[in-house]
Amino acid sequence: MNIDTLDGRLLFAIPKKGRLHEKCLQLLSGADIQFRKSHRLDVCLVMNLPIALIFLPAADIPSFVGNGNVDIGITGHDVVLEAGMQNKVTEVQRLGFGKCLLQVQVPEHGPIQSVEQLAGKRIVTSFEVLSGEYFSKLDNQLQLIGDQRTKIQYVGGSVEVACALGLADGIVDLVESGETMHAAGLRAISTVLETEAVLIKSNTPSRADLTPRIDLVASRIAGVVAAEKYVVCSFNISRDALPLAVQVTPGRRAPTISPLEQEGWVDVSSMVLKKDCARVMDELVKIGAQDILIFNLGNCRV
């Protein structure tokens, strides 16, 4: 694809592989961002909007958005901080997937029980900047100087085997389910950072006229994220019990309340967190609600 074909289009960076890739594709589909990508190309044009998708390693996306001409992108909150781009990009919204903990890990049956015991020893990680900041503060607290300070070594992959192969006394790595950590005979002794996928935009956009398009994409993505997170709860209840019902189902802003033909009764519709819907229905039953219905959201705008 000739780079000239990108002129005038919003440049949107997407992780080309890894833990965020598949979920990003689902997010684009839900936001009705239609495209066809060749397996051999990392750039493709959106068919129904003036947008070009740029598929990049997630770790590179903050730099392309912060220092380059890429306007928006999806990456991890951890990667933004690791790249030192927090002052050059804005996190428009957190996306609710790709949640992980960046944790300090040591051999499960080893002598080290705390990060204070690990300070001054060898750390292997792919997150050299964040690990360096974390252990630098710890070293300062413990008043370690010179050769006493913690040694941070960068390894691009297979960090979890560094202790077993004699390269490190501890590691700093992302933990999602914990299966890899336990399989490697490691356990977490401290959390450096909680992270998840984020939509970012440049603090110095390449063109001012792209702002409405950025807002449009952000609005669509926020709608998809909300639709996955919320359901609509609809029920009938007497006006006397309405104050209690509003406490149970306050909605994102406020519930929608409509009068019914039967005097003294109203219909209430409210957005409820999907994970809480069973508990909410139980509480509504206790206060006298009837005809309680839950509707899944295909999409929305919030």
Domain ranges of the chain: 3-96+197-206, 100-195, 230-296
**Encoding tokens for residue 153?**
């070594």
Q: What's the pLDDT at 15?
A: 94
Contacts of 137 (CB under 8 A, 6+ apart): none
Question: For the residues 169-192, what does the mean pLDDT come to?
Answer: 92
Low-confidence winner among 3-12, 238-247, 258-267 (lowest mean pLDDT): 3-12
**Contact criterion met (CB below 8 Å) for 24 and 15:** yes
The band of 5, judged by pLDDT with boundaries at 50, 70 and 90, is low
If one compares 1 and 200, the residue with the highest pLDDT of the two is: 200
The reported pLDDT for the residue numbered 177 is 86
**DSSP 8-state assignment for residue 35:** B
Over residues 14-24, the mean pLDDT reads: 90
For the whole model, what pTM was predicted? Answer: 0.85
Amino acid (1-letter code) at residue 267: D
Residue whose entry in the numeric block shows the structure tokens 């992270």? 195
Distance CA 282, CA 301 (A): 28
**Surface-to-core class of residue 76, CB atoms within 10 Å of its CB (0-12 exposed, 13-18 middle, 19+ buried):** buried
Q: What is the pLDDT of residues 111-147, one digit of tens each?
A: 999 999 999 999 999 999 999 999 999 999 999 888 8
Residue 138 to residue 144: CA distance in whole angstroms:
9
Rounded Cα gap, residues 71 and 203, in angstroms: 9
Q: What pLDDT sits at residue 28?
A: 94
Indicate the SS3 state at residue 49: coil
pLDDT of residue 95 exceeding 90: yes
Beta-bridge partners for 153: 124
Question: Which CATH code, of 3.40.190.10, 3.30.2290.10, 3.10.20.30, 3.30.700.30, is assigned to 3-96+197-206?
Answer: 3.40.190.10
Nearest to 24 by CA among 57, 67, 64: 57
pLDDT at 292 over 70: yes
Q: What is the pLDDT of residue 29?
A: 92
Question: Cα(46)–Cα(53) distance, rounded to whole angstroms?
Answer: 7
Judge if 3-96+197-206 and 100-195 fold alike in CATH terms.
Answer: yes
Question: What is the per-residue pLDDT across 29-70, written as a single tens digit (0 to 9) for each?
Answer: 999 999 988 777 889 999 999 999 999 999 999 999 999 999
100-195 folds as D-Maltodextrin-Binding Protein; domain 2 (3.40.190)
* Spatial CA neighbour of 50 closest among 221, 225, 223, 216: 216
Half-sphere exposure in the Cβ direction for 289 (13 Å, CA): 24
Architecture of the 230-296 domain? 2-Layer Sandwich (3.30)
Instruction: Give the ranges where 88-210 is alpha helix by DSSP (H).
Output: 115-118, 128-141, 179-183
Average pLDDT, the chain: 92
Residue in 184, 198, 248, 241 with CA at minimum distance from that of residue 77: 198
